């Protein structure tokens, strides 16, 4: 359900940016969403379509890249991509691991319609 809150924040960012470009319509938005984040891409698309209605970002396509959950083991000094969110080194079973990626909730870029 919090996809609506996320969509609203996203809308504020893109509308603010579009207004700096003479209010050009927003056509595409590239997002990066971490594997461990609790945002469901389809729910976010649905929510964004709803909150952007009648505005300059209405109809914008959300291009969502899922960012893998990546950790680094301090003992092994190696990085691993995890499918399950178990913060344990798959190699040495140590718990001294740090999160490299997987929590992202980012807007990377956006496309606005070219003027005239």
Enter the tokens of residue 39. 């945002």
Enter the tokens of residue 65. 């890249």
User: What three-state secondary structure class fits 19?
Assistant: helix
Give the whole-angstrom CA distance, residue 57 versus residue 93.
47
Instruction: Identify any residues that bridge with 28 across adjacent strands, giving them in sequence order.
Output: 61, 111
Within residues 81-100, the interface with another protein by CB under 8 A covers 84-88, 95, 97
Q: How far is the CB of 9 from another protein (least distance, A)?
A: 5
Chain mean position to CA 72: 21
Give the whole-angstrom CA distance, residue 42 versus residue 49.
11
Residue with smaller CB distance to another protein, 5 or 81: 5
- Contact characters 23-62, another protein, x per CB under 8 A: -x------x----xxxx-----------------------
Among 56, 57, 73, 112, binds another protein (CB under 8 A): 112
User: What three-state secondary structure class fits 76?
Assistant: coil
Q: How far is the CB of 54 from another protein (least distance, A)?
A: 21
Which residues form the interface with another protein (CB under 8 A)? 1-2, 4-6, 9-10, 12-13, 17, 21, 24, 31, 36-39, 84-88, 95, 97, 105-112, 114
């Amino acid at each position: 359900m919090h996809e609506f809150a996320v969509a609203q924040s996203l809308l504020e960012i893109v509308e603010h940016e579009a207004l700096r470009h003479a209010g050009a319509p927003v056509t595409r938005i590239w997002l990066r969403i971490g594997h461990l984040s609790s945002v469901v891409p389809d729910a976010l698309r649905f929510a964004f379509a709803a909150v952007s209605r009648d505005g300059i970002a209405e109809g914008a396509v959300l291009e969502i890249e899922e960012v893998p959950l990546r950790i680094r083991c301090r003992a092994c000094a190696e990085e691993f991509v995890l499918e399950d969110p178990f913060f344990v080194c798959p190699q040495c079973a140590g718990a001294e691991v740090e999160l490299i990626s997987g929590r992202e909730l980012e807007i990377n870029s956006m496309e606005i319609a070219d003027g005239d």
